[in-house]
Structure 1
């Protein structure tokens, strides 16, 4: 009896937590690449900077600058997505910028230039700002639309019942640790930029399958 109850609860958890939508395939690629880049590049950026000749305090300042700029940009892009452009446009823009930032780091790995480094930091910070909450909210919205149209969930939809996001993030982190951990910095930035660009293209192709977003507030006023 106990095994039967546990089995049913497990099936309910899987059914409610891993709701499949035709949009999952296109969005989860970005979730994967964001997690991979964070693990392979952003979280250990201080190691790259010190390896390239910067002192520890200079490397710390650069990392703090990236975090501060990203926090400011996060507020800005969230406001823009909610009031003006919608989340899809913001994600498209921020992901493209993120890939460009990784390419700038790739250039820095070949020949470190302070101007190029700062430019790479700003682009990467802006790219990071597009992940949370904009991309997460967009994924949440697409799933909620799938659920509401199929009527397989109750009206009190909550993102916490879905586990696609942490699962894709976990896979991205594991791949970064296994595949990119031993590589040289130049190869790390090169591979990361290719993966980000590929999942960006995949996300864009999903435009034919995404559910239309609600109109931004500014467009309603107009």
Structure 2
């Protein structure tokens, strides 16, 4: 293993461990996966960082081999996706730095929690309804409904956010993918963002 690969494995391991420590839904899922011997890391679909500056936020991962893949744009925020073969996708988002970004929830979140933690980790599931039902049996609460059509390329749902000092912190995402689709669907991402906004 190269030094770069070892450093990237270490960075991902540390950030995922920190995320799981602070997200009850992820802790429940990790315990369930650990019990079967699967573990949490092999099922990670993508990880998300919120930041004031996407390029700066992605830098530690780019320095370790991630490359830019695509940009997604929304009304008051945008995201860049980075990829490295053998690793989860990296989704980095920020509010627009101009007037368009004034209504985004991202700057307040970053001001409170920083940009060195995952906002969410998405785990890939085969049957999202079954996964939601099983996690609900173990006390996990979900925000909103499953986004995406049954049988479509991508279906997603967020857990209710962990709250810190009255503010939504991290969420767990379940992602069901079909037909080899690895991308992100802009309307769904925006809908998920709104499901974890402060009420």
Say which structure is richer in helix: 1
Provide TM-score, normalisation by structure 1: 0.25
Who wins on radius of gyration, i.e. which is larger?
A: 1
Which protein, 1 or 2, shows the higher relative CO under an 8 Å CA cutoff with sep ≥ 6? 1
